[in-house]
Structure 1
Amino acid sequence: MSLSELEQLKQQLQAANATIKSQQHIISHQKEILTQIGKEVHSLESQLQAESLDKNHQQTEEKIKASLTGINKLLVNKEGMLKTSFSRIDYELIMTENESESKDDPQAGITRRSRTSSSIIYDVVAILDGGAQYAKVIDRRVRECNVQSVIVPFTTKWEDLRKYKAIIISGGPSSVYANDSPKCDVRIFKENKTIPILGICYGFQLMAYTLEGKVERGEEREDGQFLLQLAHDKSLLFDTLLTHGDMVVNPGKSFIVTSKSSNKIISSAEHESLPFYGVQFHPEVDLTTFGPQIFTNFLFKIANCKPSFTVRNRKDAAIEFLSSFIYLLFVQWTMSIRLCYSYILDCVEDKKVLSLISGGVDSSVCTALLRQALNPKQVLLLFNSLFAVTLHTFHTLQIYCVHVDTGFMRKNESAQVKKALEDIGVDVHVVDASEMFYNGTTIIDGAETKKLKECTNPEHKRKIIGDIFMRLCEDVVRNTFGLKFDEMMLAQGTLRPDLIESASQHANKGNTADVIKTHHNDTFLVRQLRASGRVVEPLSDYHKDEVRILGAELGLPKHLVWRQPFPGPGLAIRIICATEPYLTEHDQTILYAIHLLKQLKQFETDVFAVSGSTTDKKPWDDLYKLAKDIPRVVRQVNRCVFLFGHALSGHQSSITKTLLIPDVINQLRECDDIVNQLLLSNDLLHTIAQVPVVLFPSNFGVEGARSICIRPFISRDFMTGVPAVIDTHLPEKILNEMVTRILQVKGIARVALDLTPKPPGTTEWE
């Protein structure tokens, strides 16, 4: 930029600063008005309380409410004036923002100057979304390094990418040789000489493929945590997460292999002269021990990014504070909560909202955000003395909270949910819809499904439940609340992993992700409502650990914030339904491959799980290793469990017919309660992230019986995770007590312990 241009920019910034100062006088004046109005409102509230004993209480209350409404309108008008002024300031500052896009020096990349300090700049990193489960996690990890990042479609042109400071190409489920696999602009590699590139998993394979390297389908799939040895430092080992079926066998000309896995598979490589780096593993996930260090090295040592993208310095911080000035005058809220409020206000405006509450942390935090953000025009939140009156007088007119008893709840679940939420001031309407769910159907691929109580297909079960929720919402809105469903918004506690696993376009910019499993809050009907702008999901950009932080900041009680996650479909997806043994062409292959491992004496296999059993003392270390090795060697297996009890031999294919009927549900309900009561009484709810209790139809020769699997799971964000380690996370004594008491439940043949990491296994079995 020339000196004259810099001088012109300086003058523009000075003019903008002068405008801000003039607006500060307006703000100061408005603050005085608001303070005076606050006093009037407080006086009216006192009148309302004093008149509560008056015989004409109702008329008096209506009169005061009318006055409150008038004051509210006045505040709205004042707010509009301020927002108009703020918008003008925002526009002027945006027009003076410096975005360098020098074609002569693409390495300079995009830089964004802070609106509060001309010396602070932001380097921006582009993330090409290849359809990976972890693309959003990459974005999060980069921002945790205080570097700004943007997720862009995989097909983004080189002309648009060359202005970024660095490029990260995410992983994805495809093979580079597939006709429909995502391909980026090859000029990223062939014309780029200066912008650093980090290819992750599929991104690494695509880099090698484009630069005449070699990618092959591996004989063994690499899933889970494995030790890597760095080729340039023979003594350094670290844990990492690999997850892909293809692998680079030759990274291409001029590439140097920098590490290999224990199976001698290339795990990372870099170009000897260009800033191109590739890793076969996923440094963005929690399971990669040195993942943050890898991002730090790439961003700062290789790309020379500046860690200036902090909350204090973000380019929108000043304007966002001014825009939120009216709401934040007396209360300090975090940036995350303010962003949620802003999103809710933009989505909802003055429409009424139906909030579905399961009682879990996600739906509870979602409702708490709605309750506070949707206080009419938010201004009355300024006055702490009016907070309770505001909730009572206004919130119930705009937010309608419903808890649905689907018939698949845990023991005493609905009653406990209602009480817990009422204790924090949320009025919940409980709907018993068990019969509606048991007999519900939906349309999939143009055909009507079986009734839910007769369905065995996991995907169908989830879609039926999700669609019934939507139809039930419409029924409740019309027949219970007397409102028009077409004029309502639907609020859901949808999280980022839900959208990622459902392959939603809202989480996948490239629209190339595979469906892992459809979540009930992302079915076809939900997507239709979302497309029409009638779904509000303030948590859809958050992970579970972040939601817990939000809940604590919102003041929700600890027992609610740290409640064990429970899926919206409830026990319905923790019952593996079957009417006959499910045998596949792979069964004998699986048995033979496992036999070759010769680690345990006997194994058995059913639909997708391999289990081991032994009469000897449990060799937990060996069992955890097997649970990682078996899915890597045998691609068809993605679940490994240990069976308690006497050792088994041969292929156990005997099952008991299992469907979603009350007797079966009650059987699981009792077992689930045993596990959760022991977790609660031994203070293990904070130690273990989630403990799904699953009923599956294998009877192991006991006529009419079924079996239970316990899955104690350790995870921070539920994108990845590991099984709880016995005597580290879960005492073996307590585990044995769980097993003993579950076997006392009528009709339970065996108890299993799930040892599968994620990936390859998901948190829930279905």
Structure 2
Amino acid sequence: MPDLPDHVVVLDFGGQYAHLIANRVRGLGVYSLVVQPEDFDAALAARAAGVILSGGPQSVTDAHVDLMRLRLEAFGKPLLGICFGHQLLAKLFGGELAHGCDRQYGPTSIRCVAGARLFAGLPVEQSVWMSHGDHVAHVPSGFRVAASSDSCAVAAYEAEGRDIFGLQFHPEVVHTPHGGALLKNFLALCRIETPWRADGMRQRVVDQTRAAAGDATLFLLVSGGVDSLVALQVCIEAVGPGRVRSLHVDTGLMRLGESDDILRFLAAEGFANIEIERAEALFLRELAGVADPEKKRAIIGRLFVDVLRARLRALDLGDDWKLVQGTIYPDTIESGGTKNAARIKTHHNRVPEIQQMIDRGLVVEPLRDLYKDEVRLLGRELGLPQALLDRHPFPGPGLGIRLLCHDGSPGPEGFADQPKLERILQHGAGTPPSRDRISISTIHYPLSTDQVGSQQPPGEGAGSPIRRKSILRGRILPVRSVGVQGDERSYRHPAVVWSPTGPWPGWPALNAVAAQLVNQLADINRVVICLDDLSGVDFSLRETYVARDGLDRLRQVDDLLHRRIAHIPEIWQAPAIALPLFDADGRQAFVLRPVCSRDAMTADVYPIDFDLLADLSREIRAVPGAGHLFYDITTKPPGTIEWE
């Protein structure tokens, strides 16, 4: 590699953000390489100006230490460990780790030690993004703690006299506000004499797509989402419109009027060679009786391939064609698509049938190394209209993964974490929990002045007494959803919280409640709130599968909710989810999951106006069969944006 500029190596231990680290480093003007740990040899070490160890889904083992001792112990240039990498460096140099005691997922406040080098010029107290179960209990000899939080004594450390640093949190994600400055301070210690400047993203991606296409005709499945439409425009620029064919598959899993809207939109924007396949009957037949979310995703991905092959036979294109997918990097990561990564969920573009085509060189993925924010930037470079780029992301499997299913088996009779839930809430309330209803617990929080204004809970005017107490109750629900915790997949329950007396705490208190519950209760990976008083409501699990009646109900709820929140630009995506939970009147529970994000790797909760949420909770009952509305207040991590 004689022509490489000065660079930093990112060792990929399989964390969700390994390539994001490399992306952020390049954005700061330093070239970066992503390397598997076992491939980091003496030649690479000699050329590297510094090394960053990524996070990972596993715990540090002696094998990891032995592997890296040969490669890093004598490495005299700057080292930075992040999350798993932070723990690995600590153990490598003689520190001690502890396992699974104080889990942290999402935003955390840390306090920096005076003189800590990576934190130079930054606030003493700052918010960072955590996602870990294990932690450093004692730093190695010759190291010192550089930052700590209330529940993590060693949030950061540094070596005395050497450029070795560890961060338990993730500086590379946008939800660590000063993360870019931290990385910049580290890079300043690396001897970079040839700063790196990227070529225009547009030309680079178009050239790579042209090379991957060769002489083949490109066939693209267009969902109507940002990713597939940007991929389509890249292909047109790469090989010309005459060699690009597009197919939109109406799976019957689309939002209300989605397929027809997509075709009208594409026609108006001048896209050609786009056809539609009405395949609702096929998809619903194959999904009948399937409850497992991974099986649903696999079936949907396989059916896309079957429809594609049937259409190719009808078009008589022969063998000289390649499939184009709008896969972006988070899809690859969550599907366990790098060597050390854990599978969070299998995306429909990574099912075995697709993987076999990838292995045979029959798949072109122009966006596979890009994040969602970069896809939108590329779309702007390509001249696509802003209205298209601002569309809320919609998953390829559509409503098939937003209609949660249940096979009719008995639900759990209780949860091991319920006593712990009571103890946590008792500590917050300062009063003994009720003993007569084991599934209900109570917590009291003072209403604060931040409630006055647009985020005010219903019924609390500016003249309301600030000293009133808000009483919240909670219950673990018997459904499960996918999450990502410590770079690993979780499949756990949500806890629902409500206020039987009416007044609610402000959003800071609600966010703190959600973080505390998810971090300390192993049974759950999400927290939702409900403005209805659920004290006397009993939910039952019912046998539920992907079928037309349930999809139509979800379509109506989804359409109503999205029309009412369409004016809020801060909401990046807002899945509406149907749960297999029904009240005594047979009304189904739904979830609204609005998030704020930039790259889909992390996400914040949108603090909705409580009056608007009250209106939404009331209005969805106009949809036949729709009942209680839950509002998801879980960050990513620990909850993925989609529930399945």
TM-score range for the pair, normalised by the shorter chain length: 0.7 to 0.9
Over 3 Å counting, the alpha-carbon distance change for 1:281 and 1:338 in structure 2 is same
Aligned match for 1:519, one of 347, 355, 359? 347
Deviation at 1:158, TM superposition (A): 4.2
Secondary structure of the residue aligned to 2:103 is strand
Correspondence 1:22-101 to 2 at 5 A:
none
Aligned equivalent of 2:98: 216
Aligned to 2:320: 487
Alignment partner, residue 489 of structure 2: none
User: Is this contact kept in 1: 2:81–2:166, CA < 8 A?
Assistant: yes
- For 1:594, the equivalent position in structure 2 comes to 421
User: Which of 653-662 and 233-242 deviates more?
Assistant: 233-242
Describe the superposition over 1:283-309 as per-residue Cα deviations: whole angstroms up to 9, x where unpaired: 111111210011011001x22434721
Equivalent residue runs for 1:164-243 within 5 Å: 164-177=48-61, 184-192=67-75, 194-232=76-114, 236-243=124-131
Give the structure 2 partner of residue 421 of structure 1.
Answer: 266
Whether the 8 Å CA contact 1:612–1:643 is kept in 2: the answer is: yes
After TM superposition, the structure 1 stretch with the greater mean CA deviation from structure 2, 402-411 or 202-211, is 202-211
Q: Which has the higher strand share?
A: 2
Amino acid at match of 2:591: C
Task: Quote the residue 1:531 is aligned against.
Answer: 359
Which residue of 1 is the match for residue 214 of structure 2?
A: 349
Q: Determine the structure 2 residue equivalent to 1:647.
A: 534
Is 1:126 aligned to 2:9, yes or no? Answer: yes
Q: Which has the higher contact order (CA 8 A, sep 6+)?
A: 2
Match of 1:711 among 577, 593, 598: 593
Letter of the structure 2 residue corresponding to residue 434 of structure 1? E
**1:474 to 1:182, Cα distance in 2 relative to 1, 3 A:** farther
Q: Is the 8 A contact 2:411 2:541 kept in 1?
A: no
Task: Tell me which structure has the larger Cα radius of gyration.
Answer: 1
- Letter matched to residue 615 of structure 2: E
Tell me which of 243, 250, 257 is aligned to 2:138: 250
Structure 1, unaligned runs of 5 or more: 1-93, 100-111, 113-121, 312-316, 318-334, 376-394, 441-451
In 2, the alpha carbon distance for the partners of 1:623 and 1:293 equals: 29
Is residue 135–residue 152 contact of structure 2 (8 Å, CA) maintained in 1? no
Give the distance between the partners of 2:185 and 2:175, measured in 1 at CA. 18
Show the 5 A alignment for 1:445-464: 452-464=287-299
Which one of 248, 254, 262 corresponds to residue 403 of structure 1? 248
Residues 1:630 and 2:517 are matched in the alignment: yes
Q: Secondary structure at the match of 1:345?
A: helix
Tell me if structure 2 keeps the 8 A contact 1:173–1:244.
no
Q: Which residue of 2 aligns with 1:613?
A: 498
- What is the deviation of 1:360? 0.9
In 2, distance between residues paired with 1:270 and 1:219? 23
Higher helix share: 1
TM-score, normalised with respect to structure 2: 0.86
The number of residues matched between the two structures is 576
* Identity level (%): 31
Q: 1:698 to 1:261 in 2, by over 3 A?
A: same
Q: Among residues 461, 468, 475, which one is paired with 2:303 in the alignment?
A: 468
SS in 2 for 1:219: coil
Contact 2:42 2:71 in 1 (8 A): no
Distance change (3 Å), C-alpha of 1:352 and 1:157: closer
Distance in 2 (CA, whole Å) between partners of 1:758 and 1:478 is: 42
Work out the CA distance in 2 between the residues paired with 1:706 and 1:656: 10
Aligned to 2:463: none
Distance 1:128 1:609 in 2: 34
CA contact (8 A) 1:604 1:610 kept: yes
2:468 maps to 1:603? no
Per-residue displacement from partner, 1:158-211 (whole Å, max 9, x unpaired)?
A: 4132321000000101111386x686431334222x211001111111112222
Q: Contact 2:575–2:592 (CA<8 Å) still a contact in 1? A: yes
Residues 305 and 533 from structure 1, CA distance in 2 versus in 1: closer, same or farther, beyond 3 angstroms? same
Deviations 1:365-396 (A, max 9, x none): 11111112212xxxxxxxxxxxxxxxxxxx34
Deviations 1:132-182 (A, max 9, x none): 100011001101110000001111244132321000000101111386x68
Give the deviation of 1:693 after TM superposition: 0.4
* C-alpha contact 2:539 2:584 (8 A) present in aligned 1: no
Name the residue aligned to 1:370: 235
- The question of 1:679 aligning with 2:557 is answered no
The letter for the 2-side match of 1:614 is: S
- Cα deviation code 1:556-587 (max 9, x no counterpart): 222211111100000000011013366459x5
Task: Return the alpha-carbon distance in structure 1 between the equivalents of residues 113 and 305 of structure 2.
Answer: 55
Deviations 1:58-81 (A, max 9, x none): xxxxxxxxxxxxxxxxxxxxxxxx
Partner of residue 25, structure 1: none
| Equivalent in the alignment of 2:390 | 562
Question: TM-score, normalised on structure 1?
Answer: 0.73
In the TM superposition, residue 436 of structure 1 has moved relative to its aligned partner by 1.2
Amino acid at match of 2:143: F
Quick check: 2:217–2:244 contact (8 Å CA) kept in 1? yes
Q: For the Cα contact (< 8 Å) 1:604–1:649, is it kept in 2?
A: no
Unaligned 5+ segments in structure 2 are 117-122, 429-442, 444-471, 481-492
SS of the residue aligned with 2:317? coil
CA contact (8 A) 1:624 1:755 kept: yes
Structure 2 residue identity aligned to 1:187: L
Q: Residues of 1 paired with 2:74 and 2:550: CA distance? A: 62
- Aligned counterpart, 1:65: none
Number of the residue aligned with 1:665: 551
Amino acid at match of 1:623: L
Per the alignment, in what secondary structure is the counterpart of residue 255 of structure 2? coil
Matched residue SS, 2:265: helix
**Separation in 2, partners of 1:453, 1:220:** 42
CA offsets, 1:483-541, max 9 Å, x none? 33x4321011111110011111xxx2xx1110011100111111111111111110111
1:291 to 164, 179, 183: 179
